[in-house]
Amino acid sequence: MSGQDNALDIAVQQLDQVAERINLDPSIHRRLRRPARSYIVSVPIRLDNREVEVFEGYRVHHNTSRGPAKGGIRYHPDVTLAETTALAMWMTWKCAVVNIPYGGAKGGVACNTKVLSRGELQRLTRRYTSELINVFGPQTDIPAPDVYTNPQIMSWIMDTYSVSVGYAEPGVVTGKPIAVGGSLGRNEATSRGCIFTIYSLLRRLNRKVEDQTVAVQGYGNVGYHAAQIIHDDGAKVIAATDSKGGVFNPKGLDPRALARYKEENGSVVDYPGADSITNEELLEVDCSILIPAAMENQITQRNADRIKADIIAEGANGPTTPAADEVLFERGKYHLPDILANAGGVTVSYFEWVQGLERYFWTEEEVNSKLKGIMDRAFDEVWEMAQKEKVTMRMASYIVAVRRVTEAMLLRGLHP
């Protein structure tokens, strides 16, 4: 079984567990186990050498009872329909746990961006968008960046859609550059939201940020900005990795210098003044806070008993398996699950969408303040649920989210 297929099994297993816990209506449970709709599209493009290559693309809507479909688009060789479906389901819960009016979606194209030129990427993006032109829309489905996609790719999606409808429509996509209707604070939003949940937990535990040591797996956009923010607030970042490996220095790393080194060399590997470390070894580093911000299924039953960090804050989607969840819970770890910890990105995407629809834009201070309010409230609701039910923070998050989605489904009824 592939890791992508396993992601869907995990997503459904998590739903089944919460359904049993809350005695979920069986008819609602059956509906939530399946996506509302799935699209598979061929994406033919002409390469720079004039040959035509055909890629496969996906877009999945899991549930839209609470609002239009919302979710990122990833470009990765291992993208599958199963993985996309799992990620769409997680987006449903993520939007519900922070109580923003969206349903869950996800999309992707199976491709390797590292071998595609800028022109090929643009043609791929525009063709993928054209194949889904009747699916995307500011009231129906609003994409955003994900793995190996970025603000430039979102701009091409916006432009392709806008050309189709005949006017500029910034509300069709989020994560855009500021110049074409993006929101201030969006680029760092996932990281900032993750850090807000960590700080909420530290306050509950009466601990100081300055006393924390941090390890970050996945030094991309989310991992870097999380490291930079918590470093600036006084914590010590002691380890970081990317897909090629990583570095460790118990005296601390400079997140900005490390990011510059990665930009110049393509990886954090061999960063001066630090020891080499693998992605697997980083997870077991002796630190107080671990931020897995890479891919799915990194913390498993195989290594969960060797995690030394007291706090695990999931910057990535699905980095921990259900079996590992139980091990960490039994060991007394404080585990901030993905659908809560990395919901800052979709929250500021919601802000960007609102600003685009109104054509009225906020200051960065307004964006960050509103984000903090939503993340703090969501943390408090999940924390209280976890204490009341004596369950993991993930189970508490799911209880909050699934109950909200269920309420919307029951109120709207079944048509026809």
Provide the annotated active-site residues.
106
The Cα diameter of the chain in Å comes to 66
- Using an 8 Å Cβ cutoff, are 110 and 41 in contact? no
The torsion angles phi and psi of 388, rounded to 5 degrees, stand at -65, -45
Residue among 351, 321, 371 at smallest CA distance from 191:
371
Decide: 111 and 26 in contact? Cβ < 8 Å.
no
CB atoms within 10 A of CB 144: 26
Nearest partner of 337 among 193, 188, 149, 210, judged by Cα: 193
- Strands 103-109, 245-248: pairing is unpaired
Q: How far apart are CA 327 and CA 283, in angstroms?
A: 15
Question: Are the C-beta atoms of residues 7 and 318 closer than 8 Å to each other?
Answer: yes
Contact (CB, 8 A) for 200 and 375: yes
Query: 95: which 2 tokens?
Result: 């939007």
All residues at 6 or more sequence positions from 265 whose CB lies less than 8 Å from its CB, including other chains: none
Cβ neighbour number for residue 177 with a 10 Å cutoff: 15
Question: Contact 167/175 with Cβ under 8 angstroms?
Answer: no
| Cα gap 160→285, rounded to integer Å | 45
